[in-house]
Each structure stands twice: as C-alpha cells, then as structure tokens.
Structure 1
Amino acid sequence: MHRAALPAAALAVTSLIATGCGTPSAPEPPASDGSAETLPAGPITFTRHVAPIVFEHCATCHRPGGSGPFTLLSYDDVARRARQIAEVTTSGFMPPWLPEPGFGEFVGERRLTDTQIATLAAWAESGTEEGDASDLPEPPAATDGWALGEPDLTVSLPAPYTLPADGPDVFRNLVMPLPVGETRWVKTVELRPGNPRFVHHAIMAVDDTTSSRRREAEEAEQPGEPGFSGMEMGLAFMPDGHLMGWTPGMAPNPGIDGLAWRLDPGTDFVLQLHMLPSGRAETIAPVAGFHFADAPPSGPPLYLIRLDADHLLDIPPGAADFVVSDAVELPIDVELHAVYPHAHYLAKSMEGRATLPDGGERWLIRIDEWDFDWQDVYRVREPYLLPAGTTLSMRFTYDNSADNPRNPNDPPRRVRAGNRSSDEMAHLQLQVRPRRAADLVLLRESLYRHAIRRNPANPWSYYELGNALLEQDRLDEAARQYLAGLGADPTHVPSRTSLGAVRERQGRLDEAAAEFRTVVELDPGYADGHFNLGSVRLAQGRLEDAAGHLREALALEPDHAAAHTNLGYTLRELGRLDEAVTHHREALRLQPGSAEAHNNLGSVLAMGGLLDEAIDQFQRALRLQPDHVPARQNLELAREIAAELERAGLR
C-alpha cells in the first residue's frame, strides 16, 4: 500500500492547452427564455399572482434561518419590499443564477420567466393589492429537517467556530473526524452550514491522512478556534470525481445510484467555509449529514476534468478585457454530468463549449456577468455524450479596471494566479463519466501529457502522469515521470513516495528504502512515509527497524489497516505472537470484509496453538472468498495438526 493523498486542486485534471485570445464564439441562441411579457388579465394580486412566484423562487433563502437577510413568507413581508423586489428581478440580480439561458440546461435553475418578472414589476406599480385569501397557495414548509431525509451519519465540530466581527472575508477549513469503524460507501452528503446568513459558500472534501489535523494543530491565525485558515486545503480532496459544495439556495445533491464513493476508517471530513464578517462576532456550527449506499459503485466512476488557464493570469492594472483560454481534446467517449466554473472578483464573463468531431458545437455553459458571491456547481439536467475527438474549451474574460465595482483593489494593481481571494483563478471543472471504466486511465494519461506540455514546472502533472502509467504496469516510464517531477521540485513528497513504490515493485529495495527515508525526512508526520519505509525494511529482513517505522505510522494514524497488518507480520517473525495477534485483530476490525485479514489472523493464531479459533478464521476467509488458496491450504493444515494432536491425546 503506497498512498499519497492529493490536494483538491491536483485531483481535478489540469489540462493546460491554452488557445489564442481571439477564439470565435459559438453561435448564440436567443437570449430570451421564450416567454412573452404577457401580464395576467385583471388586477394583479399578491395571493393569486405574486405569492406563487415568491414562494417558489425566493422563499428558499428568504425564510427564518435562511441565508436571505429578511423573510418573504407573508403579504406584509413582500409588500413592504415590492419596489426593491421589482428592481432586483428586472435587473437579473435576483434570484441569483449566473448561466445565460439557452447555453446549457441545469438542475434547479433559479431563473424567472419574462412574464414573472413583468408581473412582479406591475404589482409594485399598481399598489400591491393583496387579493382574496382563498387564492393564497400553501406557504413553503419549514425546512428545519434534512431535505434528503434523516442521514445515516451526522458529524459536527466539538465546539462552534467564532467568526470575527470585522475584517476581510474569512476562509476557514474545519476538520471533523468521521466515526466509521469499517469501510462505508457514501451516496451523498447534505450540509447545514450552521449560520447561512454569514456563510457565502462551502467546499466539502475528505482527508485520509493526518495532514489536516496537523495543520489545525499548527494554526497561528486563530489558534483558539477549530480548523485552519486559507483557501488552500492541503491534502484534502473531493473523492472519486464527486463535486461537493454548498451555496445559498442550492438544492442538495441526492447522489447517483451506483456511484457512491469509498469512506475508510480514519478519514477526516474537511469543510472549507467562506464567511462574511457582519460587524459582530457570529457563532458558526455546521453539521454534515452522510447518506450511505448499500453497495460499492458499479460501472465506470465519475471523474473531474479541469480546464485551467492559471498560468496565463498576469492581469495588468487598468486592463478591462483580459482574456485567457484553454482547450483539450478527449481521447475517449465520456458523459457530461456537471459543470463548475471558478474565478475570483475580477472575472467578467465565462464561456465553456464542446467542439464535436464532426465540427458541430455545443455550449457547456456561458456566463456573461460572473459574480464570485454566487458561484455554484451546475448539474446537467440530462447527462449527454461527448464522443472521443471532442475538443473542450474555455474562454474567461477579466476586468482589472477601476470601473469594475467588484475589484478588491483601489487603485487597481497587477493580479496573478493564487489561492487568496484577492488573487485570481481560471478553472472550468467538468464532471464526466467514461463509457468504459478501462478507458479512464487513457483519459488521465492524455490529459496529463497535455498538462506537462503547457506547464513543465508543475510537479503534480508528472506525478499524475506517472500514476496513470504505473496503473498500466509501465514501471520504467512511470519512474521517469516521477524523476521529472522531482527535477521540478525535489521536495515533492508524493512523487518521491511513488518512485519508491516503483523501485520496490522492481525489486530494487535499497533504492526504494532510500526514497522512503527521504520522504520521512521531508515530512516526519507523514504516516504513509513511515509505513512504506517499514514495509521495505520488513522485505529486507531488518525487522526491528521495520517495527519501529510501522509503530510510528500507527502513532500518527491509528486506523492505518495496512500498517497493523505489516506490523503483525513483523512481530510474528520476531516471535512476539501475542502482539502480532493484537495488530492482526485491529486490521480485521478495520477491514471486516477482507478474506486476507481473516487468513492473516488465523495464521498467527495457529502459530500460537489456538487452532480452533484459527480454523474459524480460515473458514470465514473462505466464505468471503472461496478461491482464496492460502486460506484453504492453511485450513487443511490446521485441521491435520488438530487431528494429530487429538490422536496423541494432546487436545
């Protein structure tokens, strides 16, 4: 086992094929939604005409406990703000929905028709008549409960986070251990952000190392508060191609049957909240609800492709129309499930499109007025095929002039790519699903080769390409990519870890040990570094050294099942059978469905003379995996020994 958890940015494919700024736009469909501004006949009233619009499109946020600054659930609530409602809906500012109509169809669109907008404006102008109470629709039900039903697991902070009263926007990464004792499969996660009026948006990720806990322990900005600061989430990542986030008004994602993601013991939930100080200290107590699937995923997994033009971002002050672009060709057929564009305050417009092999074009998304405050994940209403040979492209425009009201700098200053909100980004993430699971590695290889051509200084691209080659058993090629990544950054721990794994598979144990030894020198708190070095020492027969590193791995990550297994092997070879049994039992607790774990425990029990329990473990292994040859051989041998002991009168 050679794990190297990746930062969220590295999981999404950084395919950096920049195109020229003069890329022509695809043909534009009509900007209108097709509804004429036909007002209802007769007087426009709240109960008959306005309430249905407000209850459906506004009350999701404008309700008690919602993210809106006031409620819109009664006639009085709406009438006193009638002109304001007319203004913000006529301008398109509310309800917040950035994609232009006709450039992609998405789940949960918060867009009013022309007739609805005209109705709200006419009602405000005509005196806000209330109307007949019998016409009033049922107000929206309270949403205190979980929208997706009662979760299988809820997690929260041991103590709430206190948002400072003043200062700039706050990005805080809150770390919550997930109390699972065995591998589970997660269908979806629903988030209650804790205090939605002050939470701008949230990103949900997981960390199967201890890195997030260590960053929390080292936090200096608010050391007395839970979590750690900044937009960089470290080694936390979104699992298996899933886009997990929350924004005000977003309906929770119910998940997709057959596409659950794996959750192992010892994993932490890492929640990044973007929060807005209100002038007084606010208490933020988020709760996440996990919904489990009954079975592991079936068929091809989801995957995130990220078009990325960060390397082109060097926006001079005063530039009002700075354009960056990126494009990549698909080597395989994929199905598009979701679109997630991302930039910061200077972005003005965004285009994403697909140019098909026959020359036809299909819009992925178009946003003419980007607003960082209302970013979202846009799930495609009906997933559709993008065949091999399709070119995916993005074109983002930025305004770094003093005329941009969202420009965080006054006067404007030069802005480059970075993780602070005052920096910029240019990302278009596409959630796709390959038609065939076996094709995914070909997609990864192709995309990372493009990434390296565009930005040869990024060690993560070499690392990911090496992983794709390693998955195809192309060991020498994989090693060359890891070495190239280390040439770009000699301190890149994941590349050095994977290079050590390749050397171990090649039987070059001394070289593998040297790489893993460097890993633990670079990052002494990295549990897998100690695990890998301990495992190589075990293979070399250096048992005490192996035991020391494996114990260190478990001190850092107590639920590291593979470390328990290998430490059990090591202690068995050292003749310390009672200790070996303890660690094999722990490995089995963490992997109850593993035939190998049952066989390992049975073996050490048999060596200690506990034949009945050993036989039981071998039988359990075979029930889980009838073709497990070592378990069958061990069962036969244990039965023979037991029979001989009985014949000798020793049982």
Structure 2
Amino acid sequence: MSFRPSWTGARSPRPRPQRSAASSRIWSKPRMWRGMAGAAILVGLMTLFLFALSCRNAGSAAQASAPLAFYPDIEPIIFENCAQPCHHPGGAGPFSLATYEDVRARARQIAVVTGKRYMPPWPPEPQKPPFLGERRLSGDQIERLRLWAEQGAREGKRPQNLVRSLPPEGWQLGKPDLILNLPKSFTLPAEGTDVFRNFVFQVPLSSPRYVRAVEILPGKKNVVHHANLLIDREQSSRRLDEQDPEVGFPGMDVILESSQFEPDSHFLFWKPGTPPSVEPAGMTWRLDPGTDLILNAHLQPSGKPEIIEPILGIYFSEEAPKFFPMLLQLEHDGALDIPPGGKDFVVTDEYPVPVDLDVLGVYPHAHYLGNIVEGWADLPDGRRQTLIRIHNWDLNWQAVYRYQEPVFLPRGSVIRMRFSYDNSADNVRNPNHPPQRVKAGNRSSDEMGHLWLQVLPKGGADQRIVLQETLMRARLGKYPNDFSAHFNLASVLQSRGRAREAIEHYRAALAVRSNALALNSLGTALQEVDQFEEAAACYRKALRLRPDYTDAHYNIGLLLLRAHQSERAIAHFEQVVRARPYDADAHNDLGSALFMQGRVQEAAVHFRTALRINPEHQNARDNLRLAEQRGR
C-alpha cells in the first residue's frame, strides 16, 4: 500500500456555506448604518454645543460690559494688597484705603500706579520657590482695577457677613517681655536728603537670655522708610554715639567689632507692611548682658520737623537654639567705579559653596544707581537655581525676602551675583545732575552692591566656621590688605585651634591699621603658644589706644595673676567689674586675686556674686568653699 497525498483525493473542495456569506452581508449593513447615525448625532451635538457656546459668549460679553463693583470685585484686591499692609489709619501709607469712600476718591490713581506695577511694591520677579508674603497683582486684577475706575467706581452691596480686621496699633505680637527706649528723641529736619541714623539701645540684662522675636515700633511710620537691627556684643557703637551731640550717629552701613567668631545669623528688619516675624522653632538667638542693639534707620523728611522715638520689644524664650544659621555676603565694592553717563556698569562676585546648606532668605542692597540685581546658584549637575532677580532696582523698596521653602544648595554649587548700575541722566533716581563719577562708600550718594543670604549649613559640626574661613579667604583674594578679612580669618583659625596661623593674620591686620581689638586678640593667640611677654605687650598697647577696654584689662589681669602679681591684677579686675558687673568670670578672678592678698572676706563677696550671676560656675563654688574654710 502506498501513501497518497491528501490533495489528490477524489473529493472536490466543499463550497463555503451561503449562510456564512449571507450572515456577513447582513452584519455589515448595520455597522455602516450605526456609523452614519453616530455622525448624524455628532453633528447635532456640535450644533447644540456651538449654540450653547454662542449663548455663553454672549452672556460673558454682557457680563464684561456690566460695570464692576467695589463689592465683591475690588474690595478683596485692595484689602489684601493695600489696606491691610500699609494704607490704613496709623499705617505707613500716606493715606488710608480702608473704606470704599477712601478707594473711590483715588480710583484713577490706583489704576495708574497698579498698571505700571509701581504699587503694590514687590520688586522681585516671579520665581521658584516663591517668597513668603508676595504681593504681586495678576494681570486680571490690574485689569479689574482699571475697568472699575473707568466705569465710575460703583460701590455695589457690601456682604453682611464681611468682617475685615486691620493691624492693631502698638505691639502686634502682644506685650513684649522687655521694652527698650532711647534716652531721648531724635529730631528729623523738615527738608533735605534722606537721613540714615543709627540708634543705640542698651539692653539691661544680668544673665543671658534667648530671643524668639523682636518687634520694632519705628515711631513716625510715615517718615521711617525701613530699619535694620544689628547686634553689637562689644559695645563698639557706644563710642560713635557719644561722639555725636544728637542721639545716635549717622551712617547707612555700620561696621561692628567683635572679639570672637560669632557670625550674625538673623535678619532683623522692619519695613512698612511687613509683620514682625517670630524665629522658627529651634532658631532662637542668645542675647548677653552688655550687648547693645543698633537700629539702623532710613528716614525721609516730610516737609516739617518730625520727632523720632523708636521702641524695641523683645520676646524671650526658654528654649536654647538647636540650629545656627549664618549670613553670607557676596560683594565686590572694590570694583565700583562708575563713570558718568554709564548705563550698564556691571559688578559680579561668586562664592563656591564648601558644604551642603539651605538658603532661608535673601537681602540685596544697592543705592540709587542700581538697575538690575541678580543672584543665583549654578548647581553641580549644571542646573541654575534663581535666588532673586529685580529688573528695576529701587532703594526705596529694598527688603529682606524669605523663601516659602528653603532652597537646598549641595556642596560644589557656586553662588553668583550680578548687579548693573545706570549712572546716566536717564536714571530718574540718579542723585547727581549732571551725573558724576561714583565709587563705593557708605553715603547714599556713593554706591554699594551686596547680596546677603541667610543660610543653614547641614552637617554634624558647626559648619559656619568652614563657611567663614572660605568667605574670608575669598575676600582676601579680592582685597589682600583688607583689615576685616585678616582679622576675621584669624579669629576663625584661632577658634579651630590654629593659633600660629591666626597670629600671622592678626599681624597682617595690624599692619593695615592699629586697632585695640586686634591687639587684644593677638595677645590671646600669643598666650596660647606660651608667648606671655609678647601677649602682655599687646594688652598694654590695646589699653593705650582704649583705656576703658575691659577685655584687655581682664586678660592682662589674668597674666598678672598667673605671675603671682595679685595686687596689680586687682586693679585691672576691678576695672572690669565696674564696667561689667554681670561678668561672673571677672568677679571670680577678682576674688582669687583678693584671696591671694589675704583679703578673704572681700574675696568671698565676689565669689558669691559670681554664683548669683552663674549658679553653674564651678570655680567660683570651689573658691567660695575654700574662702569660707579659711575664714573660720
């Protein structure tokens, strides 16, 4: 038997059943019919949609043509951006916008200044992350104000449940724990240019306290443009205050002296419309006995003499700080030499970030020739992070800007600033007519270009020391003979246990100019490397420059005590406790010198005083026990 292929069989191919073919044709027609019906329905729906849209557009046109009303269209815009921050009775604005009548009387003026974005004042351009408290009107809000004014400024019907609360007079944070007043008032002249005045507030504390908030009552808000609060731990501003017959002393920018590395870390600022801020949890700051607070105020004459009586309110906390922010400064004032007529003179600076950090806030500063102010960071991955950009700088609206969320900058980022200046006759804020050559300086007719950043370094140790060292080395790269840079770098190096390097920079600072603070600090560094005679010579030189310099008196007293010259040491320690009766160490050391002289009862008095000031002072406790045993 042979195998036959299947295709060779006798059977013919079976025809496809007609039913299947018929079935295919029957089902094809309904599908075509449904598609046509869908198209017909779609056409109908489109017709209805277009009809509805035309009706809606007609309604919108009718609505747009209907006059806007103060209630409800305009009032929320005015209240949130104008009345609440500044334009209310007792506020910083020159007139009130708290009522419909107030706003109606100035409707056209409001439309003009908002249309030009002159009001409300918010110079920074939009960015991410945004700043806290932004008062930037949208295009729609500006258009509403314009239309409302054109249409006659109708009132509309005030909602019955509308309740508006304006800022209270006096303390917005409640009654302060400590209120500071000036010994006398300052009289602002009726006429003339802007006045920059520094008022010294002495703080009556007997022990250190932690501060959670400061509220500034500037006095006459209509003439105080803004104010900064500075912390003077060395009372260095008192001498400037004493040299001026009026209360306070002049100057737009103040340089404070400090004998130890303890960088300023907080923006303490008052500006019209800016509510007082409470420090975030864990970011209180220490206020020591003997510390002065300096209110650096920008005052504007009003056409009549004004009595200025600022008041400070201090709010304490029992919580010690857990986080320690720091202020970084970018600047290149040494490059500021702006020729007359120059329209785009540019100054830049940069700072490579040596540690991971968060940027919490920013404060740009220039004077009247400033034009475009920019700060940003180039990140290690190539991205650019905007920190601030102001296209039309106006000194009158400078402010501290805090971010809604911290801006993280990883190590290796480079912070940059670029400030441009317009010294042409076209600059309406140019103080010189015709334009003059302008260089860096503290007068308002001089110029500056500073970008301050409040940063919070990340990491276990105090990374502020790393930041300060790199900042000062960068500054010395720009200004090799800068006294402050050498001194600050030396202070940081000494705090890091590098006394011999510190000595070099203290001496470099003193080569620039003689200074009691630098001489005293050099003496302490020399003591650390056992060069006691040279240290004593530095203290004596410091006292020749400043006979009342308590730190130098204290340090030379310690050297004399160490050399068993207790009688001479007593005179220096007595000088210290007269000037600083709250100094527990000075009382303890004076007691030790008295004890060595056999004046045991007097010594015990000072040991007890030291313990009242600081109950944890173990040396004073041990010394008192010894004195009591000797006195029996």
CA contact (8 A) 2:257 2:517 kept: no
Identify the residue that residue 373 of structure 1 maps to in structure 2.
396
- The aligned residue for residue 168 of structure 2 is 143
Alpha-carbon deviation of 1:135? 6.4
| Structure 1 runs not aligned, ≥5 long | 1-37, 610-651
The aligned amino acid for 1:133 is R
The structure 2 residue matched to 1:526, chosen from 532, 549, 552, is 549
- Aligned partner of 1:635 in structure 2 is none
1:382 corresponding residue in structure 2: 405
* CA–CA separation in structure 1 for the residues paired with 2:370 and 2:264: 29
Is 2:139 the partner of 1:107? no
Secondary structure of 2:154's aligned partner: coil
Q: 531-540 or 363-372: which moved more?
A: 531-540
- What does 1:353-432 align with in structure 2 at a 5 Å threshold? 353-432=376-455
Q: Paired residue for 1:486?
A: 510
**Contact 1:98–1:370, Cα closer than 8 Å, also in 2:** yes
Output the CA distance in 2 between the equivalents of 1:466 and 1:67.
44
Aligned to 1:7: none
Which residue of 226, 251, 266 corresponds with 2:247? 226
- Map of 1:577 onto structure 2: 600
**Cα distance 1:271–1:607, how it changes in 2: closer, same or farther (>3 A)?**
farther
1:79 aligns with 2:104: yes
* 1:255 CA drift (Å): 0.8
Classify 1:603/1:399 alpha carbon distance in 2 versus 1 (closer, same or farther; 3 Å). farther
Deviations 1:194-227 (A, max 9, x none): 11100011111222233323322221xxx1x322
Matched, 1:46 2:62: no
Read off the aligned partner of 2:552 and give its amino acid letter: G
Equivalents in 2 of 1:404, 1:39: separation in Å? 45
1:131, distance to aligned residue in structure 2 (A): 0.3
SS at match of 1:433: strand
Describe the shift of the 1:583–1:322 C-alpha distance in structure 2 as closer, same or farther (beyond 3 A): same
Describe the shift of the 1:70–1:533 C-alpha distance in structure 2 as closer, same or farther (beyond 3 A): same
Q: Confirm whether residue 172 of structure 1 aligns to residue 193 of structure 2.
A: no
Distance 1:75 1:91 in 2: 23
Structure whose CA Rg is larger: 2
**Matches of 1:235 and 1:40, distance apart in 2:** 61
Question: Quick one: structure 1 residues 504 and 287, their matched pair in 2 at CA, closer, same or farther if it must change by over 3 Å?
Answer: same
Aligned pairs (5 A) from 1:306-325:
306-325=329-348
- Letter in structure 2 aligned against 1:540: A
Could you tell me which of 177, 186, 190 is aligned with 1:152?
177
**Closer/same/farther in 2, CA of residues 168 and 586 from structure 1, 3 Å limit:** farther
Paired residues for 1:448-527 under 5 Å: 448-489=472-513, 491-527=514-550
Contact 1:73 1:139 (8 Å CA) reproduced? no
Structure 1 partner of 2:55: none
Deviation at 1:589, TM superposition (A): 3.2
Of residues 68-77 and 505-514 in structure 1, the stretch that sits farther from structure 2 once superposed is 505-514
Q: Give the drift of 1:557.
A: 3.5
In structure 2, give the amino acid aligned to 1:277.
P
> Aligned AA for 2:95?
F
Aligned AA (2:387): L
**Cα 1:482/1:69, change in 2 over 3 Å:** same
Deviations 1:441-488 (A, max 9, x none): 222222211111111111111111112211221121111121222222
CA 1:365–1:234: 2 relative to 1, 3 Å: closer
2:302 match: 278
Could you tell me which amino acid in structure 1 is paired with residue 478 of structure 2?
Answer: R
Name the SS for the 2:594 alignment partner: helix
Following superposition of structure 1 onto structure 2, how do residues 97-136 of structure 1 map, counting pairs within 5 Å?
A: 97-102=122-127, 104-134=129-159
Q: Which of the numbers 466, 480, 487 marks the counterpart of 1:442?
A: 466
Are the structure 2 counterparts of residues 128 and 459 from structure 1 closer, same or farther at C-alpha, using a change threshold of 3 Å?
same
1:536 and 2:566 correspond: no
Indicate conservation of the 8 Å contact 1:206/1:269, yes or no.
Answer: yes
Q: 2:587 aligns with which of 552, 556, 564?
A: 564
Query: Percent identity among equivalent residues?
Result: 45
Supply the distance in 2 between the matched residues of 1:116 and 1:309 (Cα, whole angstroms). Answer: 40
Bigger shift: residues 172-181 or 56-65: 172-181
- Paired residue total: 566
1:257 corresponds to which of 281, 289, 297: 281
Q: Distance in 1 between matches of 2:434 and 2:124?
A: 30
Of stretches 479-488 and 347-356 in structure 1, the one that deviates more from structure 2 is 479-488
After alignment, is 126-135 or 551-560 more displaced? Answer: 551-560
* Partners of 2:446 and 2:92 in 1: CA distance: 26
Distance 1:469 1:210, change over 3 A: closer
Q: What is the CA–CA distance in structure 2 between the aligned matches of 1:511 and 1:288, rounded to whole Å?
A: 43
Aligned partners of 1:404 and 1:132: how far apart in 2? 45
1:320-367 per-position Cα deviation (integer Å, ceiling 9, x unaligned): 110000001011101110101011111011110000111111000000
Deviation, 1:595, is 4.0
Counterpart in 2 of 1:192?
217
User: Partner amino acid for 1:75?
Assistant: Y
Counterpart Cα distance in 1 of 2:257 and 2:140: 45
2:466 alignment partner AA: L
The 8 Å contact of residues 536 and 556 in structure 2, kept in 1 or not, is answered as: yes
Shift of residue 495 of structure 1? Answer: 2.6
**CA spacing shift, 1:397–1:117, aligned 2, 3 Å:** same
Question: Which deviates more from structure 2 when the two are superposed, residues 410-419 or residues 336-345?
Answer: 410-419
The AA in structure 2 aligned to 1:87 is: V
Give the whole-Å Cα distance in 2 for the aligned partners of 1:383 and 1:486: 40
Amino acid in structure 2 at the alignment position of 1:580: A
Distance in 1 separating the partners of 2:373 and 2:281: 31
SS of 2:272 mapped into structure 1: coil
| Corresponding position: 1:293 with 2:317 | yes
Q: SS at 1:422's partner residue? A: coil
Q: Distance in 2 between matches of 1:39 and 1:399?
A: 48
Which range moves more in the overlay, 288-297 or 599-608?
599-608
RCO higher in structure (CA 8 A, sep ≥6): 1
Q: 1:183 aligns with which of 208, 225, 228?
A: 208
Residues 520-578 of structure 1, C-alpha deviation per residue, up to 9 Å, x if partnerless? 11222322122222222222222222222222233333433332232222122122223
The one-letter amino acid of 2:179's match is: T
- 1-structure distance, mates of 2:458, 2:412: 14
Equivalent residue number for residue 7 of structure 2: none
Q: What CA deviation, in whole Å up to 9, does each residue of 1:105-159 have, x standing for no partner?
A: 1111121111111111111111000001226832333421422233222212233
Q: Structure 2, unaligned stretches of length 5 or more? A: 1-60
Give distance in 2, aligned partners of 1:485 and 1:464: 9
CA contact (8 A) 1:306 1:430 kept: yes
Distance 1:233 1:580 in 2: 41
For the residue of structure 2 that corresponds to 1:324, the secondary structure is strand
- What's the CA shift for 1:382? 0.4
Between the aligned partners of 2:287 and 2:431, the Cα distance in structure 1 is 39
Give CA deviations for 1:10-68 in whole Å, capped at 9, x if unaligned: xxxxxxxxxxxxxxxxxxxxxxxxxxxx9985431112111111111101211111111
